[in-house]
Amino acid sequence: MNAVQMLNITKKFGDLVANDNVNFDLRKGEIHALLGENGAGKTTLMRILYGLYRADSGEIWINDQPVQINSPRDAINNGVGMVTQHFTLVPPLSVAENIVLGAVKGFTLNPKEIEKSVAEASEEYGITVKPSALVRHLSVGERQRVEILKALYRRANVLIMDEPTAVLVPQEVDGLFNSLKQLVEKGLSVIFISHKLNEVMAICDRVTVLRGGRLVGTVERAGTSEKDLAVMMVGRETFGVERQGIKETGDPVLTVDHLSLTDEQGIDKLKDITLEVRHGEVLGVAGVSGNGQAELVKVLTGLQKPTNGQIILNAIDIAGASPSAITIAGMGRTPEDRHAGVVGELTVEENLALESLEIYLNRGVLDRKKIRKQAIEMIADYNIKASPEDKVRTLSGGNMQKVVMARSLSRNPSCVLAAQPTRGLDVGATEYVRGKLLEQRDRGAGVLLISEDLEEIMELADRIAVIYEGRIMGVIPAAEATEESLGLMMAGVTEHN
Amino acid sequence: MSKLRLEKAPAPAWVRPVIPLLAILVTFLITLIFIAWVQANPLHTYYYFLVAPFTSTVTMIELLVKATPLFLTGAAVAFAFRAGYYNIGAEGQLMAGAIIGSWVGVMLEGFSSWIALPIMIVGGFLGGVAWALIPALLRVRLKVDEVVTTLLMNSIIVFLVSYLLNGPWRDPVSMWPQSPDIAKSAMFFTLIPQSRLHFGFIIGIVVILTIWFVISRTAFGLKMRAAGSSAEGARFAGVNVERTILVTALVSGGIAGLAGVGEVAGIHFHLIQGLSSNLGYTGIIVATLGALNPFGVGIAALFIGLIDTGSLTVSRAMGVPVYLGQVVQATLLLVTLSMFVLTNYRLKREG
Ligand SMILES: Nc1ncnc2c1ncn2[C@@H]1O[C@H](COP(=O)(O)OP(=O)(O)O)[C@@H](O)[C@H]1O
Ligand SMILES: [Mg+2]
């Protein structure tokens, strides 16, 4: 018996295909993991099931009947509940009020009555909450329980949980897993979205993997391993591409020394990271997404101060320095999210000038002719399909990425940091961007390529470091890297020294 | 069955400048209701509102007098808004400038205008800066929402002025709570004899030209526009977003303070409680109507000056309440704002 079937689901956002003809089915009483990297299309698929988005094409069947789901109300009526990545509770209201919100009939609310009915539900499903507590006083884990109970209170028999563990501390994760196991015994079916392999292996019965909006496959947990899943997530098609001969590399340009970062919740995001990037090489940092890459990029670009450690760039310690100081020290930065690297409301030429305003000043006044002239050159050099006066927000992802790269590479940085440089780009733009990075290496710059795309790392890197849970599992020459060895390191199984 | 749905889609660039004009049109359509309510003839009403002020020199000059402080409060608001700093406190900052102006103005007795006027101007500017300082620091240091704090600062200064005028500064010879007159040499000279059009008008024009130059031609202006539309992107590109916003907020306060000095030194010559009569809040209307563009602000200030002048004419000629002018202004603000929001959407038919 299938609780849910999604058939040939396609969803586009403009040119971006977030779900490309995806099939998915959920059996009654199973925990089914939806696994994939950031941007793989997991949330989109589930928002379609919950009626938050409408698919461009495809069908949804629930309990082996075709259904139309146009709004969350339709989903709830079909017994589907969802706990989203960002909670939707109203902090000043009580737990009971939050749970019945939207489910109450009639005009009046009796606090005692709703608290009683919520307490009963809490008892029935074995999810402990305190009905009279105000939500704003609760911890994240407690809020999540309220969200779950809110869905169950409306008689959900399919529960979608979107990256539920991302916000939890380890003890809370254990609690959540126990609750889910109990609920499944009572007949609930659960869709568990995650990009963490160990969690998926810990509680799921089956795993469906998405990559770049496409279905990679659905496998039984019993018949797979963390390593196999890692490879499914990051792609294997062009594994083992021809390597160019080993290049002569020079002295280190960037040395990351015992770098660590602890976030506000006291969680260690980066643990004692030590890396070295030499002139004339590409050092790739591979890993399954969410293992500290985003934090590493933030620290290296000056958007976040590390808790500990040094980052030596051209003999200057840039740990904790401002973005502009880091740029001046010789780092060419490409951010993880290119939208966060540009100012959409400003024009292409203004964005191109923004990082180097000092060179465009003429007695304190911006030299607009010079800005225009340089912009025209960069637009031609980087093959950007836009005019200098276009607002950057109107550009496609590939052209936006080229603006970011043109801006940073035009300073001839001695170290180039490229974070997910081709994510979401089409084939042409991807090739172009990769070519530019190799050009930088050949010019003698050190290139630090942080990418979740293993294919990209294999194609570009001279040496490969693997990051897992904020730690470097090891650094190996690309020529020696195999699918096997990288997969094991990415899954946190082996270390390589 | 097909359904209409609102979809996010920014309008092309040429739409923005057209919006204020459309908004004015829509506003006058809406205000028809109020005109009908007081049983006036709409055409006559609009004539007195929009055309009559141009028929005499006296009212034309009055229009410029009314526009003078609005150049400055409008510029102050627009400047801050461009950096994404929502300064609602021009009202209070104006009063702070007026307090300083009426204080130093009295002490400047015996100095020549060459000395007194620059001191007045700098003093008024600094008064506005001082009143803008606390909300600005709270915003950049602690991320406290400036909309709330700048608004609260407006209320605080009302009490401060009331205390000064009923206590230490009260002019003993006057019946009303007001401060003593400032020195003759500290008064702004008039541009046209026998009129109230004073030096502040020139200050207004100079400030508008200056902020235009700063916003569009300087590195600081580019940084503040970047910080205002995407703090994240600006920070990544190396802009010190906090410092940029702080400086912008303080300059904005200073500009509003200049408006206060102008009212003291050019119109009233002493501090009174009702000195501002909402000039700071009207600055928000002016800035919005001017699409946050300095020249737009200039035109919008003149237009609001016209409506202010016109509403007096209308009420005199047709017995319509003066408040009609305020109704028009408030409606205009709402209509302009809604239209700017709507430019980010378009209607899509689906089904
Ligand atoms: N509302 C939206 N508008 C435009 N693009 C979107 C929207 N939601 C998601 N996307 C894009 O669709 C892709 C898939 O996103 P998502 O489903 O959130 O991935 P995941 O949950 O697997 O990380 C991403 O490239 C994302 O940027
Ligand atoms: Mg997601």
Task: Decide if pLDDT at B294 tops 80.
Answer: yes
Any CB–CB contact under 8 A between B223 and chain A? Answer: yes
- Rounded Cα distance between A332 and A436, Å, is 13
Of B219, B221, B233, the CB nearest to A342: B233
For an interface test with B, which of A298, A301, A346, A391 has the most B Cβ atoms less than 10 Å from its Cβ? Answer: A346
By the 8 A CB rule, do B187 and B181 touch? no
- Rounded Cα distance between B159 and B169, Å, is 14
CA–CA min distance A351, chain B (Å): 8
Of B218, B237, B240, the CB nearest to A366: B218
Architecture of domain B67-319: Orthogonal Bundle (1.10)
By the 8 A CB rule, do B287 and B81 touch? yes
Multiple choice CATH, A240-330+413-497, 3.30.360.10, 3.40.50.300, 3.40.50.720, 2.40.40.20 = 3.40.50.300
For residue range A20-63, list pLDDT tens digits in order.
999 999 999 999 999 987 778 999 999 999 999 999 999 999 99
Residues contacting ligand 1 via CB (< 6 Å)? A 13, 16, 18, 36, 38-44, 424
By the 8 A CB rule, do A334 and A417 touch? yes
Q: What burial class does residue A437 get, using C-beta atoms within 10 Å of its C-beta: 0-12 exposed, 13-18 middle, 19+ buried?
A: buried
pLDDT of B349: 64
Q: Which of B198, B221, B244 lies closest to B68 in space, CA to CA?
A: B198
Task: Decide if pLDDT at B46 tops 70.
Answer: yes
Q: Best substitution site from A6, A11, A16 to test ligand 1's pocket, by max atoms within 8 Å of Cβ? A: A16
pLDDT of B172: 78
For residue range B153-211, list pLDDT tens digits in order.
999 999 999 999 988 888 877 778 888 899 899 999 999 988 899 999 999 999 999 99
Q: Determine how many CB atoms are found less than 10 A away from the CB of residue A166.
A: 13
Question: Interhelix angle for B219-229 vs B57-82, to 10°?
Answer: 70
Q: Which of A400, A349, A403, A398 lies closest to A373 in space, CA to CA?
A: A349
3-state secondary structure of A382: coil
By the 8 A CB rule, do B297 and B74 touch? yes
Closest ligand to A40 CA?
A: 1
Any CB–CB contact under 8 A between B32 and chain A? Answer: no
pLDDT of A416: 96
By the 8 A CB rule, do A319 and A255 touch? no
Interface contact flag, B223 A357, Cβ < 8 Å = yes
Domain boundaries, chain B: 67-319
Please list every residue in chain A whose beta carbon sits closer than 8 Å to the beta carbon of residue B235.
Answer: 303, 323
Interface contact flag, B238 A323, Cβ < 8 Å = yes
Stretch (H or E) spanning A472: strand A471-477
Please list every residue in chain B whose beta carbon sits closer than 8 Å to the beta carbon of residue A413.
Answer: none
Interface contact flag, B238 A343, Cβ < 8 Å = no
Which position has the higher pLDDT, B33 or A472? A472
For ligand 1, atom 3, the nearest C-alpha belongs to: A13
Please list every residue in chain B whose beta carbon sits closer than 8 Å to the beta carbon of residue A407.
Answer: 237
- Rounded Cα distance between A216 and A218, Å, is 7
Sign of CA dihedral A300, B234, A18, A387: negative
Of A323, A353, A357, the CB nearest to B236: A323
Quote the DSSP letter at residue A26: E
Task: Decide if pLDDT at B350 tops 70.
Answer: no
Q: What distances in angstroms separate CA A384 from CA A342, A407, A461, B350, one per listed residue?
A: 15, 12, 25, 34
By the 8 A CB rule, do B96 and B131 touch? yes
Cα of first residue to Cα of last residue in chain A, in angstroms, is: 49
Of B218, B223, B237, the CB nearest to A364: B218
Task: Decide if pLDDT at B6 tops 70.
Answer: no
DSSP string across A51-119: TSS--SEEEEEETTEEE---SHHHHHHTTEEEE-SS----TTSBHHHHHHTTT--SS---HHHHHHHHH
Q: What burial class does residue B318 get, using C-beta atoms within 10 Å of its C-beta: 0-12 exposed, 13-18 middle, 19+ buried?
A: middle
Which position has the higher pLDDT, B127 or A246? B127
Low-confidence ranges of chain A (pLDDT < 70): 104-107, 169-170, 236-248, 427, 497
CA–CA min distance B49, chain A (Å): 37
Interface contact flag, A368 B226, Cβ < 8 Å = no
- Rounded Cα distance between B193 and B155, Å, is 37
pLDDT of A366: 93
Please list every residue in chain A whose beta carbon sits closer than 8 Å to the beta carbon of residue B230.
Answer: 340, 342-345
Of B221, B223, B236, the CB nearest to A303: B236
- Rounded Cα distance between B222 and B189, Å, is 36
ipTM of predicted complex: 0.82
Quote the DSSP letter at residue A207: E
3-state secondary structure of A444: coil
Cα torsion B85, B89, B90, B95 to 10°: value is: -150
Query: For residue A494, what are its two tokens?
Result: 């082996």
Please list every residue in chain B whose beta carbon sits closer than 8 Å to the beta carbon of residue A354.
Answer: 222-223, 226, 234, 237-239
By the 8 A CB rule, do B270 and B40 touch? no
Interface contact flag, B229 A346, Cβ < 8 Å = yes
3-state secondary structure of A45: helix
pLDDT of B342: 75
Stretch (H or E) spanning B183: none
3-state secondary structure of B205: helix
Any CB–CB contact under 8 A between B222 and chain A? Answer: yes
**What's the B330 CA to ligand 1 centre distance in angstroms?**
41
By the 8 A CB rule, do A138 and A95 touch? yes
Q: Best substitution site from A17, A43, A86 to test ligand 1's pocket, by max atoms within 8 Å of Cβ? A: A43
Examine domains A2-234 and A240-330+413-497 and report if their fold is the same: yes
At position B106, the amino acid (one-letter code) is V
For an interface test with A, which of B236, B241, B242 has the most A Cβ atoms less than 10 Å from its Cβ? Answer: B236
- Rounded Cα distance between A37 and A493, Å, is 19
Interface contact flag, A340 B10, Cβ < 8 Å = no
Please list every residue in chain B whose beta carbon sits closer than 8 Å to the beta carbon of residue A368.
Answer: 217
Domain boundaries, chain A: 2-234, 240-330+413-497, 344-411
Task: Decide if pLDDT at B316 tops 90.
Answer: no
Looking from the CA of residue A53, the nearest atom of ligand 1 is: 1
pLDDT of B351: 45
Interface contact flag, B229 A344, Cβ < 8 Å = yes
Residues 6+ apart with CB under 8 A from B220: B214, B244, B247
Task: Decide if pLDDT at B15 tops 90.
Answer: no
CATH match of A2-234 with 3.90.1150.10: no
Please list every residue in chain B whose beta carbon sits closer than 8 Å to the beta carbon of residue A341.
Answer: 233, 236-237
Which position has the higher pLDDT, A199 or B257? B257
pLDDT of B82: 95
CA–CA min distance A81, chain B (Å): 25
Ion ligand 2: residue ranges with CB closer than 5 A: A 43
pLDDT of A242: 43
Looking from the CA of residue A423, the nearest atom of ligand 1 is: 25
Any CB–CB contact under 8 A between B237 and chain A? Answer: yes
Any CB–CB contact under 8 A between B230 and chain A? Answer: yes
pLDDT of B1: 45
Interface contact flag, A351 B237, Cβ < 8 Å = yes
Q: What is the Cα B296 distance to its own chain's centre?
A: 13
| b/e B52-78 (16+ beta carbons within 10 angstroms → b) | bbeeeeebebbbbbbbbbbbbbbbbbb
Sign of CA dihedral B267, B269, B271, B273: negative
Stretch (H or E) spanning B33: helix B15-37
Q: What burial class does residue A469 get, using C-beta atoms within 10 Å of its C-beta: 0-12 exposed, 13-18 middle, 19+ buried?
A: middle
Quote the DSSP letter at residue A246: P
Looking from the CA of residue A38, the nearest atom of ligand 1 is: 23
At position A51, the amino acid (one-letter code) is G
Closest ligand to A209 CA?
A: 1
pLDDT of B3: 62
Interface contact flag, A324 B235, Cβ < 8 Å = no
By the 8 A CB rule, do B270 and B54 touch? no
Question: Interhelix angle for B200-217 vs B241-262, to 10°?
Answer: 170
DSSP string across B215-249: HHHBHHHHHHHHHHH-HHHHHHTT--HHHHHHHHH
pLDDT of A336: 84
| b/e B185-210 (16+ beta carbons within 10 angstroms → b) | bbbbebbeeeeebbbbbebbeebbee
